[in-house]
Amino acid sequence: MALMSADKPPKPGTRRPRAAVKGKGRGARVGGRPLASRVKTAKGRKTSSTRWLKRQLNDPYVAEAQRLGYRSRSAFKLAELDDRFRFLTKGARVVDLGAAPGGWCQVAVERTNVLGHGSNRGRVVGLDLQEMDAIAGAELLQGDFLDDEILKSLLQVLAGPADIVLSDMATAATGHTATDHLRIIGLLEVAVDFAGQVLTPGGAFVGKVLKGGTENDLLNRLKRDFKTVRHAKPPASRSDSAESYVVAQGFRGTPIGDIGAE
Ligand SMILES: C[S@@+](CC[C@H](N)C(=O)[O-])C[C@H]1O[C@@H](n2cnc3c(N)ncnc32)[C@H](O)[C@@H]1O
C-alpha cells in the first residue's frame, strides 16, 4: 500500500485498508492535521527514550495505527506488501511468525475473511516469544520458534497445510550490524525451512530481511522453490531502518505429509 489519500481512511475489516497518511516525518499529515508534536518534558528520561518518544509522537503511522485500532504500526507494512503482491486471499490459512504485538495478525484476519460469512473463511495462527493479548479470529501461541517442542505444538495447532507463511521475526537489535544481520538471517532460514514443510502448492512466503537482501544461498533456494521472489521495502518501513522484506510466491513443492501428526 503506497502512502494513500487522506480522503479514504482504511476501515478495519475491509479488503484493502489503506493508510490515510500523507508525507513522512514532521511534515506528514493525517486528515489535513499536521502531526508533529514536541516532547515537552524529558526530565528523568534517557536521551534514547526521549528520542524514541519524540519519533513515536511524530510518526503518522503510529497515529493512524492507534486511530484504526491496530496493535502496531507494522500492520501497515503487511497491508502495503499485500496491496502490491496480493497474497492474502479470502479463505487463506496463514501462519504469522514473530506475531507480537499483533498488527500483522489483525491485517491477516481482515484480509483472509476469518470472521466473515460463507465458506471461504481464512485461518490465522500467530506465534511469538512474547505473550499476546487475544485477537478476535486469530489463534495465538507463545514460545520460541527455534524450540523443537514449540515447533511441534505449532504444527499440531495448524493440523494441516498453510497457504501463507509470514515472518516478521526479529531479535532485539544489539547495535552491532553484523551480529544483527546474522541473527535475522538465522531466523529467516528456519522460517523458510518451516514454509517448505507446511506450504501448499502455489503458497507464499513473506519474511523480514536486512539491508543487502537475502543471502545468496537462501535466495537461490527460494528461487528454486517459488515461481517469483521479490524484495520490497514498504513505505511504512522507516527509511532509516535496514529492514526490507522478501516476498516469494507460487510455492512449487508439496507440503510434507502428516503435518501435526505425532
Ligand atoms: C518486529 S516484531 C513483530 C511485529 C508484528 N509483525 C506486528 O505486526 O505486531 C518481531 C517479533 O519477533 C519475535 N521473535 C523474535 N525471535 C523469535 C523467536 N525465536 N520465536 C518467536 N518469536 C520471535 C519478537 O518477540 C518480536 O515480538
Taking only the tens of pLDDT, the chain with its 262 residues reads 332 333 233 443 444 445 445 554 434 443 333 334 455 555 566 666 676 667 776 788 999 999 999 999 999 999 999 999 999 999 999 999 999 999 999 999 999 999 998 889 999 999 999 999 999 999 999 999 999 999 999 999 999 999 999 999 998 888 887 888 888 889 999 999 999 999 999 999 999 998 766 678 899 999 999 999 999 999 999 988 889 999 999 999 866 555 555 4
- Residue 208 bears catalytic tag: yes
Q: 127 with 33, same domain? A: no
Give the HSE-up count for residue 238: Cα atoms under 13 Å, Cβ half-sphere: 13
> Is residue 14 one of the residues assigned to a domain?
no
For the Cβ of 71 lying below 6 angstroms from any atom of ligand 1, the answer is: yes
Domain limits for position 29: 24-68
Residues pairing with 207 in the sheet? 167, 246
Encode 38-53: b = buried (16+ Cβ within 10 Å), e = exposed: ebeeeeeeeeeeeeee
> Is residue 11 one of the residues assigned to a domain?
no
> Is residue 4 one of the residues assigned to a domain?
no
Residue 38: what pLDDT? 54
> Is residue 256 one of the residues assigned to a domain?
no
For the Cβ of 74 lying below 6 angstroms from any atom of ligand 1, the answer is: yes
CA 103–ligand 1 middle distance (angstroms): 11
> Is residue 175 one of the residues assigned to a domain?
yes
Residues pairing with 97 in the sheet? 127, 167
Q: 58 with 80, same domain? A: no
For the Cβ of 63 lying below 6 angstroms from any atom of ligand 1, the answer is: no
Domain count for the chain? 2
Measured CA angle at 180 (ends 178, 181), to 5 deg: 65
